[in-house]
Amino acid sequence: MSRKPKIKITLVDKKEQGHCHRGHKIGDTFDFDTERGELCPMVMHIAFPYIDILRYGGELPQNKDGEILFCCSDVDVINVFKLEKIENTDNR
């Protein structure tokens, strides 16, 4: 039985001048399995379908640098997050 890959979520950019009400800052990184409760619920609402697609073998659009990016839904902030799929390397 194969294990689901880990997902790393990193805040990489900010498009507007507002302040994140959850206090997220560029460079913050979260492990989806162990730290998702620390992420803003609006971010999780957007991220979850993408994460589900990645975990179950689907492909997502990538930017010119090969990154998977998405934005939070707060129009006063517009934090930009990067998703990374980390393949499980142990053979359990």
| pLDDT tens track for 4-32 | 889 999 999 999 999 999 999 999 999 99
What residues pair up with 84 in beta bridges, in sequence order?
A: 8
What would the pLDDT profile of 34-57 be if each residue is shown by its tens digit?
999 999 999 999 999 999 999 998
pLDDT(1) > 60: no
- pLDDT of 4 reads 84
pLDDT(87) > 90: no
pTM over 0.85: yes
CB proximity list for 84: less than 8 A, separation 6 or greater = 7, 8, 9, 10, 68
Is the distance from CB of 47 to CB of 10 less than 8 angstroms?
no
In one-letter notation, the amino acid at residue 23 is: G
